[in-house]
Structure 1
Amino acid sequence: MKSTISKEKIDKVGIHSFSKKADLFFNIIVALFALSCVLPFFFVIIISVTDETRLVIDGFQFWPSKFSIAGYEFLIQLKDKLFQSLFITMFVTVVGTTLNVFFTTTYAYAISRKNFRFRRFFTLFAMLSMLFSAGIVPSYIVMTSLLGLGDTVLALILPMLLSPFNIMVMRTFIKKTISESIIESARIDGASEARIFFQICLPLVLPGIATISLFTALAFWNDWFNALLYIKSENLVPLQYLLMKIQANIEYLSKNAGLGTQFAALNSSIPKESARMAMVVIATLPIACIYPFFQRYFVKGLTIGGVKE
């Protein structure tokens, strides 16, 4: 009997020791992976504040011999356009994300209810739209000729107003989170579908809403293709598209520096590499600062909503 008990204790100690070693090993792996994600962005920030001459001589270094904010000074010269584009991007991101999340959540709630007669049709409709699209030309004709929304802010919002992938994620999340008995109890008490959705459903699915909000906000913030297709006015250019145009102008000056003294003077006065990295920082830092506010919801929402029944 004593030998049996001592053997069980030895086994428990061995399992506990192995568990600690396994936890340490996986923590190291995760830490290395996190470091590999953070280091590139840190490297970009360092290059953006490195002197252009030292970049040419020494190359890219984690700690340069000479610092300079010439890249940011170059962009500050375009501050009026940058602030205008930043305002457009923030407006499109906030309004587009709000509308997208609202329509996505209502759509997902409808097809998650068993008493909705057409739930199979609308579920299949959403899934098919993930696989097939009309293409650029029909979309452009509809947006500009049929709807007449060319060169308007709505042209930056409407094409991304609904996300089939997010609909499927929210549908599964709602079905996993909200029990049918809760809905039935509310109906028995006389609650309408709108009251059930806003007062019962929404508070329970906040992790899922935070998850799709982050996905949608990233999509709106980084979008430049819709501006390329539909926007002609300089006052409606979003930040990402403006930075692309600045980058294209820098490359044009670099390639044509030998065509004349004017091109050569402009090319030599522009901190090309540091300006490029400064543009990356400006485009990435604001949306990166938002992520910590969604983090506590993000893992739970993605894990639960990503499981298909």
Structure 2
Amino acid sequence: MNERAALSSAHRRRRRTAGTLAVAAGLVIAACGPDTPEVDPSTLGTRAERPAVRGDLAYGLVQRQVDFGPRVPGSDGHRAQLAWMVETLTPLADTVFTDTFSHTTKEGVALELTNVHAVFGPQKGRRILLLAHWDTRPTSDQASDPADKAKPVPGANDGASGVAVLLELARLFHEQAPPTAVELLFVDGEDYGPTTDDMFLGARHYARTRVTESPPLFGVLLDMVGDTDLRLPMEGYSLEAAPQVVQRVWGLAQQLGYGTVFVSEVGQRILDDHLPLIDAGVPTIDLIDFDYGPGNAYWHTPLDTPDKVSPRSLEIVGEVVAELVYRNR
């Protein structure tokens, strides 16, 4: 696995917790993570009778989002995408609502942010939480060309891919109601930055305001799931906080024939939207391929464009998550 960017004042991903070695920037810390859980196929049940996920439709939803332009909070693209998501979800879900909140960054920038909720089944009680962030990074801080660093990120994979899969799943859930209620959560302010003080804002808001009242059974975060060379190891914090969910998801993927994508390897610990939920007591896993392009060259750069995204990758992730939902009774 390639070395990763450091978690510095300008970077996003990786925190230390008790029991985690203090590691040098860029070091893969899979070796100090938990063991890969064993999967007993007999516990998974048989394949669900349900509609099929269509990768071509999901890919079209990626392209539609990128066509809005960068979805940086406060931008025209951000406003257009918000309106489009609500318009798209309203005829599909039982309940759709927005939750707007404010945040002032360390630099004193006042942001107005909005989480979008789409619920299939009762709003409260037993439900599965599926989430993705819908905003994009204001600057291409990882661009190799200094002239590109001030440009906003197009966000085809880092943002649009997870949203696209959730919207495609919304089509399925409308066509055939899932056996357990599902909440789709589109969180804002995940990628604003430049430091983690001003990231994961929508997930933090949800954890602070919604979880105590009615906690989900568990959560699955979809982030950067469209890479043409998709490879999803078991993210480290997910294994520590929600090993049973990881075990089931990777077991289902193996059963469906996607073991070369959902690989039975322990990956890095990644700072992401699942951590506020874990801290609030909701076992949540992160589906993320944090190896985007050669040497991670497409991440947080102007190269994060739809041609780097694969309809097949979107379909595989959607199929596994759909199977998880429809087999949950």
- The reply to whether TM is greater than 0.5 is no
Higher strand content, 1 or 2? 2
Structure number, greater radius of gyration: 1
TM-score normalised to structure 2 length? 0.30
Length-normalised TM-score, structure 1: 0.31
Q: Which one has a larger percent helix, Structure 1 or Structure 2?
A: 1
